[in-house]
Amino acid sequence: MFEALLKYSFLQNALIGSILASIACGIIGTLIVEKKLVMMSGGIAHTSFGGVGMGYFLNIEPIIGALIFAVTAAAGISVINKKSRTNTDVLVGMFWSVGMAMGILFISFTPGYPPDMASYLFGDILTVSHLDLIIMLILDIAVMIVITALYDHFKAYLFDEEFASVVKIRTAILEYLLYIMIAFTIVVLIRVVGIVLVIALLTVPPAIAKFITYDLKKIILSSVILGMLFCIAGLWISYELHIASGASIILVAGLTYVVLSAVKGKLENRIILPLRKQL
């Protein structure tokens, strides 16, 4: 694969896409896990399918359509939840279903042969284009700027929302920003692992990082590095075995988590628990 990497531009795009996706994934995935917004992220991801269908129907870049739908869903869930006090799970389920339904309708109305949606549903990092890389880079920069500028505020909001409100941090604005950044990250990841599998890549790296540290900055950095390793390993397996890249990446991540979780459990049973009993 390394020789092919120097020869083929689609592999170079895939490698760069892996790195860009891992940056957003590591940062926002950590916030999602800490704030317990996994299902919210799934709802936004599936709603974005409506934007993909709209892109094909209007003959525009499907990723642009996905971004519009994802940001609209993120803002809509947050605003409706604040104003009507509707259960968040109900809103997520509604946007999830409506977004998928709209995507199917748009595709059915698109003239000509129906497009192949597999790469958007399950990911195909080998089809990442230069435009996809530009969009990924812009969204990555936006996420990094917001998190860097408001890191202390987000840290307070994540771990003690009441305290954040007491010290005059505008938690409602932080919530809106977080939801929008989740939408940005999901759009970045769609071309890598797809709408269906996006939740796994958002949650597995932070979950593994928390095996070794509880420091938020270290979790974010570890998640970014782990995301890169999973994407590159999955890309290599996909290229060598001629299988779906999105599935390869998620299987590598999932198996790594299972193995490390088992090892951690054995270490705790054999070393840590006996030491606690002695103390």
Query: pLDDT by residue (tens digit) across 125-137?
Result: 777 888 888 888 8
Determine the average pLDDT of the residues in 223-238. Answer: 89
The DSSP code for 188 is H
pLDDT at 37: 85
Determine the average pLDDT of the residues in 56-73. Answer: 90
Burial, 19: exposed, middle or buried (Cβ in 10 Å; 0-12, 13-18, 19+)? middle
Residue 278 scores a pLDDT above 80: no
Determine the average pLDDT of the residues in 197-221. Answer: 88
What's the mean pLDDT when you consider all of the chain?
84
Contact, 26 vs 140, CB < 8 A? no
User: Which CATH class name applies to 2-278?
Assistant: mainly alpha
CA neighbor of 192 nearest in space, from 163, 232, 241:
232
pLDDT at 30: 92
* Alpha carbon 75 to its chain's center: 17
Listed ranges 32-36, 90-94, 162-166; the one with the highest mean pLDDT: 32-36
Question: d(Cα 150, Cα 144) in Å, to the nearest integer?
Answer: 10
Span of 13-17, 27-31, 176-180 with lowest mean pLDDT: 13-17
The helix, strand and coil proportions of the chain, stated in percent and rounded to the nearest 5, come to 85, 0, 15
pLDDT at 206: 92
**Quick one: pLDDT band at residue 257, thresholds 50, 70, 90?**
very high
Determine the average pLDDT of the residues in 116-125. Answer: 78
Q: Where are the domains of the chain?
A: 2-278
Determine the average pLDDT of the residues in 224-234. Answer: 90
